[in-house]
Structure 1
Amino acid sequence: MTSQALYWLSDESLTFPSHDYALSDPNGLLALGGDLSPQRIIAAYKHGVFPWFNEGDPIMWWSPNPRAILHCEDIHVNRTLAKFIRKRPFTVTINNAFSEVIDACSDAPFRQEESWITSDMITAYEQLHQLGFAHSIEVWQEDALVGGLYGVAINGYFSGESMFYSQANASKIALFALSKHLLLHGINMIDCQIQNDFLASMGSQEISRQHFLNQQSAAINQTVSSELWRPQTISY
């Protein structure tokens, strides 16, 4: 059954409604309200739902259909990027500068619109990072942070949240290095949430919500190495 009812979340419960109740316009809006506690955000990601809202709006929770995903083995590297990669101009690390990455994503100079990464969102995801659920990929040019991305991981499931760059190709290198690192640990899907031109150019594809939920369920139940997210330098 499909309905256009919109749910307000209970302060007493972390339960999210069925995905069948997500609106078609705006695409995927499932629920409003609740809070940004680590427990609620983790429950949301386990349910295939993510928060996304602007300053001054109520907290909005989304389950879009279709869903954008990137299979790590299918990441697209064109000739120009391949040539750039061979030069190894950057160093890439994991979880060495989470706060700096999320701050840069919130006010990246290439943004044309107001950032949805509010101060409350930054606080919430920094708490998730401290609990071992949110992670950052950093791209360095010598000692300068020039690009990166962050997202949420639950076992073998990784949901990308945002990225930034201040040097050409830095965000592409972040995504490429992350894909390679995940593959090394037996993980082959990045949840990109909503398709855009950049993600499409890197190989992201749109699949049905149900297809996504099936893949996500398998990923969440996947056992992963404790080495996956330890602070480290990774190759690309």
Structure 2
Amino acid sequence: MSRRQIDITPDLMLRAYRAGLFPMAESRRGDRLYWLDPERRGVIPLDAGFHMPRRLLRTVLSGPYRVTADADFAAAIAGCAAPAPGREDTWINPEIEFLFLALHRQGHAHSIEVWQEDALIGGLYGVVLGGAFFGESMFSRARDASKVALVHLVARLRLGGFTLLDSQFLTEHLAQFGAHEIPRAEYKRRLAHAVNATATWHAAPDPAALEAAIRGLRSGGPEEA
């Protein structure tokens, strides 16, 4: 069975992200993509505004999970696309997967994977342009798995000199980490600065530097999250 012709290309995707747009499908089975440019944009702080409770810090540093980056991008996006309790459908259809896999092969899309022994139990993925990371989706199959992935993402972004972490929308889950909404005009201003900045994606940073970056995220946030 041949794949239908794809009008949206990886290059068009990158140009859209640079302009502040991102694509979504109506559903997992939907066959059309739509460009979104919300009036208010969710962002996650990469400075002292990021909140990490002490309990989560202990889980990240000495918990049962192993964390990797770009070890299995295809599995990470498949995990985000799969139905889960409370999320029976997703906006990630096969065309979205196809396009992001292409972006990953080009070095523009990256993932964080959380493992329990050999089982993938959480993760996230997104797009990198300059000093901006556009978070697309995350998933969790065990307690704190997506939270651990987010902490590792933020620590790597701080190590690499990133200035913008775009979460697209604000959710209750992200708000507990300090995520908030900003107006479209303010987002576009920050975006223009970030995409023209120089930053480095650290898939396998020095372990000591990564641990120091993770500990540096502990900034007096709520005790539980």
Q: 1:58 to 1:176 in 2, by over 3 A?
A: same
Q: Which 4+ stretches in 1 moved above 6 angstroms?
A: none
Higher relative contact order at CA 8 Å, sep ≥6: structure 1 or structure 2?
Answer: 2
Where 1:52 maps in the other structure, the secondary structure is strand
Is the aligned partner of 1:58 residue 2:17? no
- In 1, distance between residues paired with 2:141 and 2:60? 17
Instruction: Return the TM-score normalized by structure 1.
Output: 0.79
Q: Is 2:159–2:202's contact at 8 Å kept on the other side of the alignment?
A: no
User: Structure 2 unaligned runs (5+)?
Assistant: 1-5, 215-225
Shift of the alpha carbon at 1:91?
A: 1.9
Residue in structure 1 matching 2:12, options 6, 20, 40: 40
- In 2, distance between residues paired with 1:87 and 1:98? 24
Q: Is 2:43–2:180's contact at 8 Å kept on the other side of the alignment?
A: yes
Residue in structure 2 matching 1:118, options 89, 93, 98: 93
Is the aligned partner of 1:175 residue 2:150? yes
- In 2, distance between residues paired with 1:100 and 1:198? 22
- In 1, distance between residues paired with 2:33 and 2:103? 17
Q: Is 1:152–1:158's contact at 8 Å kept on the other side of the alignment?
A: yes
User: Structure 1 unaligned runs (5+)?
Assistant: 1-33
Where 1:168 maps in the other structure, the secondary structure is coil
- In 1, distance between residues paired with 2:65 and 2:54? 18
Shift of the alpha carbon at 1:108?
A: 4.4
Shift of the alpha carbon at 1:82?
A: 3.0
Is the aligned partner of 1:192 residue 2:164? no
- In 2, distance between residues paired with 1:149 and 1:56? 22
Aligned partner of 1:85 in structure 2 is 60
Identity of aligned residues (%): 36
Q: Number of aligned residue pairs: give it.
A: 201
- In 2, distance between residues paired with 1:89 and 1:110? 23
One-letter code of the match for 2:30? G
Q: 1:128 to 1:111 in 2, by over 3 A?
A: farther
Residue in structure 2 matching 1:133, options 108, 112, 115: 108
Instruction: Return the TM-score normalized by structure 2.
Output: 0.82
